[in-house]
Amino acid sequence: MPVCSQCTVANCNFVVAALLECSCKHGILYAYRQNFVEYMKLEDKGVLTVPGEVNDEALEKAMELGQSI
């Protein structure tokens, strides 16, 4: 999974795919487990989030949508 080494978050329940403001400007994919506070912050910024338990098709769609943000 493509992950920007400058932007990592651990222990959250969501997969996030988006272009975020980071030094390398890459599309970023996060696999999360329990951090709902971080999830809400990302939602407030307009970052697309989907449940961590998703199939490949849903994940690909999330990545495509995230990269257009």
Q: How much of the chain, in percent, has pLDDT values that exceed 70?
A: 0
Domain for residue 9, yes or no?
no
How many residues are given for the chain? 69
* Mean local confidence (pLDDT), 13-19: 40
| pLDDT band of 35, cuts 50, 70, 90 | very low
The 10s digit of each residue's pLDDT in 19-30 is 333 333 333 444
Tell if the pTM clears 0.85, that is, is over it.
Answer: no
| pLDDT band of 14, cuts 50, 70, 90 | very low
Domain for residue 29, yes or no?
yes
Domain for residue 53, yes or no?
yes
**CA 13 to CA 69: how far, in whole Å?**
21
Kindly tell me the sign of the dihedral angle through the C-alpha atoms of 8, 9, 10, 13: negative
Domain for residue 30, yes or no?
yes
Q: What residue numbers bound the domain in which 52 lies?
A: 14-67
**Total domains in the fold of the chain:** 1
